[in-house]
Amino acid sequence: MKKFPLQFSMQTMKCSPKLRPALSLGLAMTMLGIAWNTTAQAEPFDIAAFALPRTPANEVRFEEPRDVQSVEVEFTGKAPDGVSIAYLQNHWPENRIENYNPDHAFSFGWTKIDDSFNTKWKPAEVEVSAKSTERLQFTFRPLTTEFPKTTDYDVTFRRTLGIQVTGADEGQVKAIHVYTVSKPAVTDLRVELDAGTRVKGAGISLSAYNAMIESVTAGEGAAVDGNRVVLHDASPRSFTLRVSHMLPEHDLSGDEGLITFALEDDTFTISLTSLMNQGPIWSEDFGVYVTRAEDETPFDAYRERTAGDKTIAESVLEEPEQTYQGAFGGQPRPHTISFPLGCALARERFLVEANGDLLVRPNDLNDVKGKDTERYKAHGNGHFYFGLEKWEITSRAPSADFAPVFSIEARKGELKIHQESLAVPLLVPADSEKWAGDDPIVAMVKFRLENTGTASITAELPVAYAQHGERANSYYARSGNQDDYGVTRSPLDELALDNGALRGPFDSEVVLRGKVVTDMQAEPDPVKKAVVYTKSLEPGQSCELLLKVPFIALENDEELAALDRLEFSAWKESTLRYWRIATSRAATLSAPDWPLQALHAAHFMHIQTADISMPDEPRLINTSVGTSTYGNFSNESCMIIRELDERGENEQAQRRLDLWVKYQGSVPQAGNFTDFDGMFYGAGGYEVGQYNQHHGWVIWAMSEHYLITRNDAWFRSIAEPLIKGADWVFRQRRNTMKELDHSRGWEYGFLPAGSLEDVQDFHYWQATNTLTWRGVDNVARALEAFGHPEAARVRKEADAYKADVMKGLETARQHAPLVRLRDGRWVPYYPSRLYNRGRELGWIRETLEGSVYLLLSGMYDPNGREAKWILDDYQDNRLSGPPYGYPRIAFNRTWFSNAGFSMQPCLLANLLPYLDRDEPELYLWVFFNAWNSVYLSESNAMVEHPSPWLGWANNVLVKTSDEANAISWLRYMFVYSKPKLLHLGRAIPRNWFGQTEPFETQRVATEHGRVGIRYEPNPVSRTVRAVASLELRDTPEQLFVRFRTPDKTPLKSVTVNGQAWSKFGAEKGDVDLAGLSGNVVIEIAY
């Protein structure tokens, strides 16, 4: 297995436990045996020179929070009496980023940080001393003078984005000088040019941030003109420079010294901290090699030393292609969690806990009022306990018919129990789909107890109930209200037994909690606060108990009679019949690896039992991104809707999209927006998440729906709201197309600053703007396809938005430092937001919403150099370990099956650019690893996260949006569709062609029409037969079927519909079918 070189970074410390996030840079250098060339007479470093422009004379504001230790203020005359200072404050000191523990990289993603728009001026407790009659020095008193509870953190600095002089007029302030806790230093650097690539142009202009260039000295082939290096034609070419800067006190202090190199055709920046930790720095793209002056390693020696090092992507390509079983066997398995029960589009849902207990969870009833809301009569969750937690659970499994029917088998000595659970509508047949979203639903839990021994035995099953019940959670995340068996410690209600009915208290009422049908003897147990059912069983004998649990309180004779009529076998069969039809009417998929096929079939059921028909307008469907856990997060809902469209469930997709149309502009978002007229977010009360990207996702999904369905009547009905949505974007971005306070102008043409995702600091976020551009770009495409008269205007606006966003992102990239790859090269880095010159805080900002969206949005070419920079940086630095990836034990041994994906493995589509780049080996590697990290085979469903590391599942099952992504990614192996390309079999695993089981997908909806592909491999004869089903609405410019032979052998011969065929690529295995349609039979030999 590939061994990777050790990579040190104060931000990541790759492949090595981090020493401490709060570790001072000076101490880190000492421990690493490295020393700066630092002069003893270094002057205190004033950071005011790097403050933002366009601020009042009595203020300084910074791009990032700084740990300010002292402030000196110069006045135009004598310092006025009563002058003091204030600082911008919000989340600090409650949130202390320097205390980050790398073992908690997952939870660190939600850490709050102050921003320029949500902070307020706080008067500081200071000591004032006069440096002269015109100059005052302010030092901070201990923090407890302002925050008395911070006795464990009584620091004498203030972490802030700005300083304000108070008690003096603006005109009285001549200058403000700001000093942080970081110590000053002076360092000499040596720069070799033409390192692997000839430096273009006649010169290089140097500038600095958090640093000052003290001198530049020409070497061979160069001359110096101030801070500009003039380049001669001769070789070699080099120069040295001396810079004063700071030694950052901790990783996130904002004091990192940066040197910017402006070349003739581009600009890049290096970090002095990164140079110390990981240097030398070599940019192959720009031909520049930088070392500390005392490091005499020449470029050629450095290149020789790193010649054998590989990026993770390169190392993947050296390994045998990843397989499903390889990933499954190479990862720790997630532990068991609860399974949801429900009916299609009904909001009353139950959870079967891992130990068989039943949870009644009312979340969705309270978010939006319906006729069932007031009839839910329990405080919090209702919870039935059956006492199986101490039994040996031998099996947990969902229905083989991909229905929401769940079985558990357990044994205790010779007594065996089989528990089977499902949910059914109370008043109509389970296969009728005639129930409303807020109609009463009943859980049916059937127990069969069997004596498998040779002597008589007493079978016993207790039934207890509690209000205020909590979900069982993983042992890592559990609270004090859960015991070691995973049973929550809610106070039990006393159940009264009345002719099979179990009744319990609710305030002053007595409520029917369940109805039991059994021939077992029932006896209330006042000690256990349970009704205990018993029966003596002879060897081979069995008994049964059926518990029927209505979600809401039943109120009339019709409902009570309907409850009595519910019979398990009949209702189970009608439930299975309903889902057999529902899960087979659209796209199908079969694969040699059964879990892939099983989840593809079950996913539609998972969606339907998570989503809700709206109580006030049943035609509309609310999309829930997690069953009974999450509401309508628009961005993730669009992932679900996209999968429905590709599956061919277009009417279902439309009903979900129309919900947003109805509630357009009804709910605001967190941001500096001037209005919300036209913004898509509101979902009738189910909307969740202050994600400014929501709107862009919705208009993208609406446009995609039309491009796939070409439903002109529907598009005509929503064209006006869709254009209104695009115009909201164009109108809002005009707020930044002017000179703004404390701004460098990088945000020109961006949306106003606002919230990103779960983290809600206001910034000019890359993901928000690239995804919003993707949305308006797709609106323009849809309008063009429809022939709408507004198409040209929207296209012009969308293209202008793209140009402005790209300009801002390129400016940010040029001023952010290069990052090191594992092969020794350093590449440019795109920050997650403007005005952030380096890595972000936590994995959500840096990875989940990071620069891969430049590719996923389509803004940047997936085959361009920028894509390679981004993808390699993700794999080498962001996904392979803390602080942005999961901790991984023995990385050099386990990386192949444990790396490649984010800490929300199936939400971030970081594998799709590999498919766009036609790199199927990398695509499959990420896909199989990500899938297996969140897939629970015993539930045939996906959770949201391994949390806090692989093997620990959080309790969000089913996480329908993440699962929708995974299903789409699976389908893209078979059907890859772009506006001018249809590629069948683009990323089918090679090992599937090395066995004899056929595999296929059929009835997949694309922009070109409905398509399918079936492969029938015969590895003995070294042939493959394929049938392409092409119900095309248009003829794509390119149409291929690919055959990825098991041993990479080139194709020898091809026939199409029985005729010899010469249009194929032997090496890649692509057969050109351009111009063909209908059923096409392709046979190849290799």
Tell me the pLDDT tens digit for each residue of 533-560.
999 999 999 999 999 999 999 989 999 9
831-870 per-position pLDDT tens digit: 999 999 999 999 999 999 999 999 999 999 999 999 999 9
Side chain identity at 719, as an amino acid letter?
A
CA dist 28 and 16 (Å) reads 14
Which CATH number describes the domain made up of 979-1085?
2.60.40.1180
* pLDDT at position 708 over 50: yes
Check whether 114 has a pLDDT greater than 90: yes
What's phi and psi for 596, nearest 5 deg?
-65, -45
Q: How do residues 941-967 score in pLDDT, each as one tens digit?
A: 999 999 989 998 888 999 999 999 999
- Mark 778-798 as b/e (b = at least 16 C-beta within 10 Å): bbbbbbebbebebbebbbebb
pLDDT at 471: 77
Q: What is the pLDDT of residue 433?
A: 87
Per-residue model confidence as pLDDT tens digits over 315-327: 999 999 999 999 9
- Give the three-state DSSP class for 446: strand
| Alpha-carbon distances, residue 217 vs 53, 190, 239, 243 (angstroms) | 31, 10, 6, 12
Q: Each residue of 1021-1044: pLDDT tens digit?
A: 999 999 999 999 999 999 999 999
Mean per-residue pLDDT, 20-28: 34
pLDDT higher than 60, residue 18: no
CA dist., res. 422 & res. 444, Å (int): 5
Instruction: For the chain, count helices (H), then strands (E).
Output: 23, 51
| pLDDT given at position 480 | 73
Is residue 14 pLDDT above 50, yes or no? no
Residues with Cβ within 8 Å of residue 373, at least 6 apart in sequence: 365, 366, 438
Structure tokens at 941: 């469903």
Element (H, E) at 504: strand 501-506
Please give the biggest Cα pair distance in the chain.
Answer: 103
Give the per-residue pLDDT at 336. 87
Q: How confident is the model at residue 482 (pLDDT cuts 50, 70, 90)?
A: confident
Element (H, E) at 158: strand 158-166
* Domain map (residue ranges) of the chain: 25-39+183-309, 47-180, 346-358+365-582, 637-815, 979-1085
Mean pLDDT of 696-704: 99
- What pLDDT is stored for residue 478 in this prediction? 66
Q: Which CATH class is domain 346-358+365-582?
A: mainly beta
Q: How far apart are CA 749 and CA 801, in angstroms?
A: 7
pLDDT at 484: 84
CA 407 to CA 67: how far, in whole Å?
A: 57
DSSP 336-388: P--EEE--TT-S-EEEE-TTS-EEEE-HHHHHS--TTTTT--SSSEEEEE-S-
Least confident of 100-109, 341-350, 432-441, 745-754: 100-109
Residue range 27-57, pLDDT digits in tens: 334 333 344 455 434 789 999 999 999 999 9
pLDDT tens digits for 485-498? 878 778 999 999 99
625: pLDDT strictly greater than 70: yes
* Residue with the two structure tokens 């980023």: 97
Average pLDDT over residues 659-683: 99
The residue-averaged pLDDT of 383-402 equals 96
Predicted pLDDT of residue 477? 64
Q: Which 3 state secondary structure label does DSSP give 831?
A: coil
Per-chain mean pLDDT for the chain: 95
Structure tokens at 756: 């990103």
The confidence score (pLDDT) of residue 475 equals 64
Query: What tens digit of pLDDT does each residue of 817-826 get?
Result: 999 999 999 9
Top-confidence residue, 13 or 73: 73
Neighbours of 363 (CB within 10 A): 14
Ramachandran region, residue 961 (left: φ > 0; alpha: ψ -120 to 50; beta: rest): alpha
pTM above 0.75, yes or no: yes
For residue 568, what are the CA distances in angstroms to 421, 430, 605? 9, 12, 20
Provide the β-strand partners of residue 188. Answer: 242
Give the integer Cα–Cα distance in Å for 658 and 802.
Answer: 28
Instruction: Say whether the peptide bond before residue 958 is cis (omega within 30 degrees of 0).
Output: yes
pLDDT at 510 over 90: yes
Mean pLDDT of the 112-122 span: 98
Determine the pLDDT at residue 476.
65
| Band of pLDDT at residue 13, cut at 50, 70 and 90 | very low
The answer, yes or no, to whether residue 248 has pLDDT greater than 80, is yes
The answer to whether residue 26 scores a pLDDT higher than 50 is: no
Structure tokens at 966: 């995974």
CB 586, CB 1010: distance < 8 Å:
no
pLDDT at 470 over 90: no
Q: What was the pLDDT predicted at 489?
A: 79
